[in-house]
Amino acid sequence: MDLSQCNPTGRFTGLADLYQRHRPSYPAAAIDLIVSRCRLGPTSLLADVGCGTGISARLFAARGIPVLGIEPNAEMRTQAERVASEPAWGALHYRDGQAEATGLPGASVSGVLSAQAFHWFDAERALREFHRILRPGGWVALIWNERDETDPFTASYGDLLRRHSNAEGVEAQRLRSGEALLHCPLYEERGRYDLASEQVLDEDGLVGRAFSASYAPQQGPAHQALEAGLRQLFRVQQGQVVLRYQTSVYLGRRAAQPGGPGVETPHHAG
């Protein structure tokens, strides 16, 4: 996928409210893993790059970890700042910036997080920038929620998206983008961890989840067909529905000298 043709920043304009209300969170086990492995705590500073509306940033701030969210889309960043203005989020701040040019000083952060965003970055340039801003021994954590289509309902939802949108190209790019960290010589102790997660939704939540995706049609016949299909899919169930995910976490520690130890084998958790 040619990122120069995809407008990674502008394609989320107009979606901030849907994104904030309907995107899934990340499982506690994934946050526990990142906090523990990356040795994050109250004296750390975590840069959440491509933080969107702040879903992931708030999960770490809630654990007392200072977070600086970096987001180039003004609408998404404004949505995140509305929540961060509440007193409970004193250790959470946001700024404009891009993954390939964060604007942060060198060796200024303890960790770099990218949640559901790294596939929109120029991987080589972003990983160089992350290496530059990380303190010695700091970690990069990439995380994605990917649909688990071994579950029949989740598979039917995925089929609808692919039928009425250009989801397939974006999803193919997303599925392989974490490999860049696993093979980057700027990092060592690299590994991937897979965990199960789920999202429980009512009918409007299911529709909102679909249309929070940047590739979903926002108007016209395709939009109408997708919404009708989603509502029909919901109505053959009883009450709420469950979308099941595999949450994948990719980790790598900043190497003092490029070309550190190789890739760990993937780990799976329930």
Decide if 213 is inside a domain.
no
Determine the Cα–Cα distance for residues 74 and 13; give it in Å rounded to an integer: 8
Confidence of residue 218 (pLDDT cuts 50, 70, 90): confident
Decide if 155 is inside a domain.
no
Segment 141-160, tens digit of pLDDT: 999 999 999 999 999 999 99
Decide if 157 is inside a domain.
no
Q: What is the pLDDT at residue 135?
A: 97
Segment 164-198, tens digit of pLDDT: 887 666 676 777 899 999 999 999 999 999 999 99
Segment 25-41, tens digit of pLDDT: 999 999 999 999 999 99
Decide if 77 is inside a domain.
yes
Determine the Cα–Cα distance for residues 134 and 32; give it in Å rounded to an integer: 20
Q: What is the pLDDT at residue 67?
A: 96
Amino acid at 43: T
Cβ atoms within 10 Å of 161's Cβ, excluding its own: 21
CB within 8 Å of 144: residues ≥ 6 apart: 115, 116, 118, 119, 174, 178, 247, 248
The total of structural domains in the chain comes to 1
Cβ atoms within 10 Å of 209's Cβ, excluding its own: 22
Tokens representing 245 are: 């995910």
The helix or strand, by DSSP H or E, that contains position 243, with its residue range, turns out to be strand 241-254
Count of helices and strands (H, E) across the chain: 10, 8
pTM of the model: 0.88
Instruction: Check if the beta carbon of residue 148 is closer than 8 Å to that of residue 244.
Output: yes
Q: What is the pLDDT at residue 176?
A: 83
Decide if 219 is inside a domain.
no
Decide if 208 is inside a domain.
no
240 or 218: whose pLDDT is higher? 240
For the domain that residue 185 is a member of, what is the CATH number? 3.40.50.150
Decide if 163 is inside a domain.
no
Residue span of the structural domain in which 28 resides: 3-145+173-196+247-259
What separation in angstroms does the CA of 167 have from each of 121, 138, 193, 213? 18, 34, 24, 9
Q: Is the pLDDT of residue 4 over 50?
A: no
Q: What is the pLDDT at residue 251?
A: 98
Decide if 134 is inside a domain.
yes
**Quick one: average pLDDT of 5-9?**
50
